[in-house]
Amino acid sequence: MIDRLLLLLDIAIKHLSRRKRQTVVAVSGVMVGVGFFLAVSALMIGSQNDFIKTLIDAAPQIIISDELRSPAPQPGVRAFPGSMIAMHGYKVRTEVRGLKNWPAILRAVNAVPGAIGSPSLTGGVTLRVGGREEALGIVGIDPSVETKVSTIADKLRVGHLRDLERVQGGIIIGEDLAQRLGLGMGDVVGATSASGTTRSLRIVGLFKKGQVMMSSSMGYVLLREAQSMLGRPFIINRIGVKLPDPYQADQISKQLEGRFGYKAESWEDRSSDFLALLVTRNVIMYSVVSAILLVASFGIYTVVSTSVSDKRRDIAIMRSMGFSEFDLQLIFIIEGVLLALIGVMCGWLLGFGLMNILGSLNFAVGGENQHVPLDRTPRQYAIAAAASLFAGGIAAWLPARKASRVDPVEILRGAA
């Protein structure tokens, strides 16, 4: 069987070596297809991974907030369960906002192996500087825990997160907001909360400009500071959770939500529109690549097809010698697969080269020098090879069927 395949391979190679120019054209078609697929997919997947990493890292992977998916039943309704009486117009009880049994939730979160929960309190204040006012959302955090949960520390242009603990009334705000208000490091700014409390805050850090996930109207303060400023001592309304495996987020957030009733949103939940966009991108990429491969397989089809019609006489000779129909079909399929195979290997080299060129490119984003994110996994090489060999096999199989149908009698009679 091996000997037979080697014989057919030998014949196929001899056929191809007689049509060098067509072979080169067909091989380059596959080569360009494979090469560009590798480069483009490395770029697409690289940027996608980069993007997902940003989504995963920028904010906690699960955010438990004090929103309820459905409102708590009113006392009047609870008092008469299953009653026939409908009640209208009673006074709605005022709920104290915040995560009620948050220490229990935090314990539950920390009980998940490798998971860390960071409690925080958010609220709104108004900053006042020299007659100018600017609304600001403040987040009260525990810096030592928050650094483990999110990457806000990396987003700082100047200052450190732990300075919040060292400086009384310290706050970290965005660079652009500071610019708008004419503030700099160490400046003091007045902040008034909705409950009327006014504090003086000192700027101890600035966030970099242009962060997607970091709103420019957000400020970070110490949790205790936020609680007293917002007049809500001992209350938190948000727990950010970092997981060892970000892809567990959906499952764990559902468990937490089921157990405590508070809304627990995973990063996938929060960014489902972005993720849908990525799917679209992938669909576009794979359709472009399929189109390239389709064109490449036209080249293979042409070579094999002309090879079959040129070799009708040889086909008849081999058939009369005792080669079977399947042998003949196989010879021409091997021709196509061979073209695809050579094309794939050249394409791997081309793709490798293109990726190196892309990888060496630098470009500036937000004043930072960055490399193009590239994903260079063997998986893409394998996909490109499998797709090309499959396409080449099909492109060769169609004309190869003609080879097996050549009637030797007709040819011998015509030639004699």
Partner 1 sequence: MSPVLEAQGLGRTLPGDPPVTLVRDVSFAVAPGTFTAITGPSGCGKSSLLYLLGMIDRPTEGALLLQGENVAELDGDARAQLRLEHFGFVFQFHFLLPEFTAIENVMLPMRRLAKLKPAEIEPRAMELLATMGLAGKETKTPDRLSGGERQRVAIARALANDPMLILGDEPTGNLDSVSSANVVDVFRMLAHEQQRAVVCVTHDLGIAAQADVRISMLDGRVVKVEEA
Total site size for partner 1, rule CB under 8 A: 27
**Class of residue 275 by CB neighbours under 10 A (exposed 0-12, middle 13-18, buried 19+):** middle
Which residues, numbered 377-416, are part of the site for partner 1 (CB under 8 A)?
408-409, 412-413, 415-416
For residue 364, which phi and psi values (nearest 5 degrees)? Answer: -100, 130
Is 96 a binding residue for partner 1 by CB under 8 A? The answer is: no
Taking the complex as a whole, the smallest distance from the CB of residue 35 to partner 1 amounts, in Å, to 31
In sign, the C-alpha dihedral spanning 32, 37, 40, 42 is negative
Q: Which of 7, 185, 361, 386 binds partner 1 (CB under 8 A)?
A: 7
Is 18 a binding residue for partner 1 by CB under 8 A? The answer is: yes
Q: Pick between residue 157 and residue 313 the one whose CB is nearest to partner 1.
A: 313
In sign, the C-alpha dihedral spanning 207, 209, 212, 216 is positive
Q: Which of 37, 260, 323, 381 binds partner 1 (CB under 8 A)?
A: 323
Q: Are strands 116-129 and 188-193 parallel, antiparallel or unpaired?
A: antiparallel
Q: Pick between residue 53 and residue 413 the one whose CB is nearest to partner 1.
A: 413
Q: Pick between residue 23 and residue 227 the one whose CB is nearest to partner 1.
A: 23
Is 312 a binding residue for partner 1 by CB under 8 A? The answer is: no
Q: Which of 100, 162, 270, 313 binds partner 1 (CB under 8 A)?
A: 313
Q: Which of 4, 97, 259, 371 binds partner 1 (CB under 8 A)?
A: 4
Taking the complex as a whole, the smallest distance from the CB of residue 325 to partner 1 amounts, in Å, to 6
CA 16 – CA 23 distance, rounded (Å): 7
Is 371 a binding residue for partner 1 by CB under 8 A? The answer is: no
CA 212 – CA 197 distance, rounded (Å): 31
Site pattern 325..364 for partner 1 (x: CB under 8 A): xxx-------------------------------------
Q: Pick between residue 17 and residue 280 the one whose CB is nearest to partner 1.
A: 17
For the packed helices 20-58 and 2-17, what is the interaxial angle rounded to 10 degrees?
A: 110
Looking at 7-15, 42-50, 80-88, 116-124, which segment touches partner 1 (CB under 8 A)?
7-15
Is 17 a binding residue for partner 1 by CB under 8 A? The answer is: yes
Is 317 a binding residue for partner 1 by CB under 8 A? The answer is: yes
CA 176 – CA 139 distance, rounded (Å): 18
Is 309 a binding residue for partner 1 by CB under 8 A? The answer is: no
Q: Which of 243, 314, 351, 395 binds partner 1 (CB under 8 A)?
A: 314
Fill in the DSSP letter of residue 155.
G
Instruction: List alpha helices for 86-161, DSSP H.
Output: 102-111, 143-149
Is 320 a binding residue for partner 1 by CB under 8 A? The answer is: yes
Taking the complex as a whole, the smallest distance from the CB of residue 29 to partner 1 amounts, in Å, to 24
CA 278 – CA 287 distance, rounded (Å): 14
Is 196 a binding residue for partner 1 by CB under 8 A? The answer is: no
Q: Which of 135, 321, 364, 365 binds partner 1 (CB under 8 A)?
A: 321
Q: Which of 318, 374, 395, 406 binds partner 1 (CB under 8 A)?
A: 318
Q: Write out the E strands in 14-115.
A: 62-68
CA 183 – CA 179 distance, rounded (Å): 6
Please give the structure tokens belonging to residue 260.
């405590």
Q: Pick between residue 67 and residue 407 the one whose CB is nearest to partner 1.
A: 407
Is 107 a binding residue for partner 1 by CB under 8 A? The answer is: no
Q: What DSSP element (H or E) covers 55?
A: helix 20-58
Please give the distance of CA 183 from its chain centroid, rounded to a whole number: 37
Is 19 a binding residue for partner 1 by CB under 8 A? The answer is: no
Taking the complex as a whole, the smallest distance from the CB of residue 297 to partner 1 amounts, in Å, to 25
For the packed helices 378-405 and 272-310, what is the interaxial angle rounded to 10 degrees?
A: 30
Pick from 131, 241, 127, 233: nearest CA to 189: 127
Q: Are 135 and 126 in contact, with CB atoms under 8 Å apart? A: yes
Residues that bind partner 1 (CB under 8 A): 3-4, 7, 11, 14-15, 17-18, 313-314, 317-327, 408-409, 412-413, 415-416
